[in-house]
Amino acid sequence: MGEWLADVGLFLVQLLSVVLVVGLAVAVVARLRQEAGSDSRLKLVELNRGRDERKRRLRLAASEPGARKRLLKAFRREDKQQAKAGKSHKREGEERRSTVWLIDFHGDIRASGTDRFAEEISAVIAAAESGDEVVVRLESAGGLVHAYGLAAAELDRLRDAGLATTVCIDKVAASGGYLMACGADRVQAAPLAVVGSIGVVAQVPNVHRLLKRHDIDVEVLTAGRYKRTLTVLGENTEEGREKFIDDLERTHELFKRHVAKRRPELDIEAIATGEIWYGSEALDRGLVDALGTSEAYLVERMQEARVIRVKLEPSRRLGERLGAAVSAGVEQALLRGAQALDASRWQKR
């Protein structure tokens, strides 16, 4: 019995060693492949095709069992006719179908997605042809001035390239978000989307009196009269406050100038008060050109154009992919457990 247990233990140790060696080899190969390839990949999704597939599935689900075969045959005929029409168009040299390029931008306070956004714009500019349109689904409540200034400058590149540009606002494009949105040829917002907030805000806490109460001195040394206007630890002066407010006003003027240049029909002094408006109100004030959701606009454009979503996805290491998979599995298990507990409250006992 003891010898049998020893053999089993030895076998398990050998098996574990093999698994570790294979896992290490897989990790090394994955790392080498990543280093040899690019840091990111461009993902393109034609939304027309997905919409047509969903439409067919719904039609099949709603049809009577005896009619499904006829529907499937009709779908095959449609596919053949479309393929044949595409070939004949190429032979006859007809104009190609225009393309709508869709880019998403979800901004945080640092506009950290700007680098990816810039690369997606570069890819679209390189591929787009005359008659194409770029739709940007924008969602941002704003953030750092310099960060959103860069993001707005990247979106301006589309207009400079001669591409028709539409910004769709489903939830919010305020402050730095609107700084970006106003650069489009056309701005569309959902009826209750938050738009505007053309203003500048800054908050600086000061604990000087607290430190002074505990006999703690703070020396703030600068070279240059306005190198530091307001501080967190030192004593703030009236001159410093006035200079800080002057800097805010100057930034606000630049913001107003940026918006007025891109939407000259606006009464900039009336709308640049820092207020926000909902979509229907923003339409009345000229901040947006139309009401509607991005989904409604894209479905409308699909009637006459191909809609292709462009997304630059970072390549993830093997460890990151495994970690994400484990995290997703744990999250799903916890969610299912919570749902089961919630459902048990309604069960009869």
User: Which positions are catalytic?
Assistant: 175, 227
Phi, psi of 35 (to 5 degrees): -65, -30
Spatial neighbors of 157 by CB under 8 A, at least 6 apart, are 121, 125
Q: Which residues, in sequence order, are bridge partners of residue 174? A: 196
Report helix, strand or coil for 83.
helix
Contacts of 236 (CB under 8 A, 6+ apart): 206, 208, 230
Question: Which residue's entry shows tokens 């919409």?
Answer: 51
At which residue do the structure tokens 């640049």 appear? 272
Q: How many CB atoms lie within 10 A of CB 159?
A: 15
DSSP 97: P
Alpha helices in the chain (DSSP H): 2-36, 47-62, 68-92, 114-127, 145-160, 176-181, 208-213, 238-262, 268-271, 279-285, 294-302, 318-344
Strands 186-189 and 164-174: parallel
